[in-house]
Copies of this chain bind each other. A is one copy, B any other.
Amino acid sequence: MHGLLILSQYADEYLRLIRAANPPGLSIMATSAPEEGVTFGPDCDIVLGEPSLVSRVLHRLPDLCWVQSIWAGVEPLLDPGLRRDYVLTNARGVFGELMSEYVFAYLLAHERRIFPRHAAQAVCQWDDTPTGTLRGKKIGLMGVGSIGACLARTARYFGMTVRGYTRASETCADVDAYYHGTGLMAFVSDLDYLVSVLPNTADTRCIVDAALLAALPPRAVFVNVGRGSGVDEAALAKALQTGRIAGAVLDVFQEEPLPPGHFLWHTPNVLITSHTAAPSVPEDIVRIFLENYQRLLQGEALRFRVDFERGY
């Protein structure tokens, strides 16, 4: 018998979906606000939840053996002060299509001049400024895991040239050219669009800095759907204020929610989307959980295990 604790702002929805699947030998409790002081019984050995909530109860789960994260990013669980004596798995392979819709919504909006045309409409101006096209443009993907591969496929669909920057892997057939390590400046040169899908790790912290931004052409637009820690936000604001690059679409930030007085809210040519690019869909996450639970019962290795040292 296993005991599952669901910790999520959507606890009721997760509970409903998992109950409907009726997994064998599993007792379930669910909450969206784990109260201080409550001790979870020794029968609770599995947690499915949002890392920000899970981190607060880690010390109160004596028999914990496995945490399935609802998110891709597990930063709250990587704090060196927290225990690591359990298997941590995250959500993967379910965000690519939503990310692809997000990224190409904003790339097409840029080419199609959606905002300038809307401004022209407000003053009844027939604005037939020629439109741009994605066809033939160059996109650079920082990170080509399952999300990056989805972006590469959509970029190819729209006739773009695709570059990938990775630690070492070269597994995606939709990438035209791969770059690694010190090839970063060559990777970004002459790009129309730079898209970061990088997780938060020691290697990626502020990888988008003044030097990298200076290596982009002035027409370039930067899109961040990875983690806010990957960007030197002051350097990015300066690059936008001086016209060094054409624009930025930011879904993630060093601090979230972005504080009301933060300079990025009003930096020219920035579009802010408040970490909405690819929400976790409970149906997708429950599918991952149930498959991993099945593996647990059969003594198999769980899928999407996080390496605490690497950070993803």
Contacts and interface: CB of A to CB of B under 8 A. Distances in A.
Nearest to A120: B274
B271 A121 contact: yes
Interface in A243-297: 256-258, 260-262, 265-266, 271-277, 279
Nearest to A275: B128
Nearest to A249: B114
Given A105-B109, A109-B114, A118-B271, A130 B276 contact: yes
Contacts of A131: 98, 102, 276-277, 279
Copies in the complex: 2
A108 interface: yes
A109 B98 CA distance: 13
Nearest to A107: B105
Contacts of A105: 105, 108-109, 111-112, 114
A22 B214 CA distance: 44
A97 B271 contact: no
A275 B257 CA distance: 39
A15 to B, nearest CB: 20
Interface string A100-120: 011011101101101101101
Contacts of A279: 130-131
B159 A117 contact: no
A127 interface: yes
Nearest to A134: B101
A270 B106 CA distance: 19
Contact of A111 (B101, B124, B260): B101
A276 B124 CA distance: 16
A101 B133 contact: yes
Interface in A145-185: 154, 157-159
A133 B274 contact: no
In this complex, which of A102, A104, A131, A266 has the most chain B Cβ atoms within 10 angstroms of its Cβ? A131
12 contacts: A97-B135, A101-B158, A105-B105, A108-B109, A109-B114, A117-B272, A117-B273, A124-B265, A126-B258, A128-B275, A130-B276, A131-B277
Given A117-B276, A130-B279, A131-B277, 14 more contacts: A101-B108, A101-B111, A101-B112, A104-B104, A105-B105, A108-B108, A112-B273, A114-B271, A124-B260, A124-B262, A126-B257, A126-B258, A129-B276, A131-B279
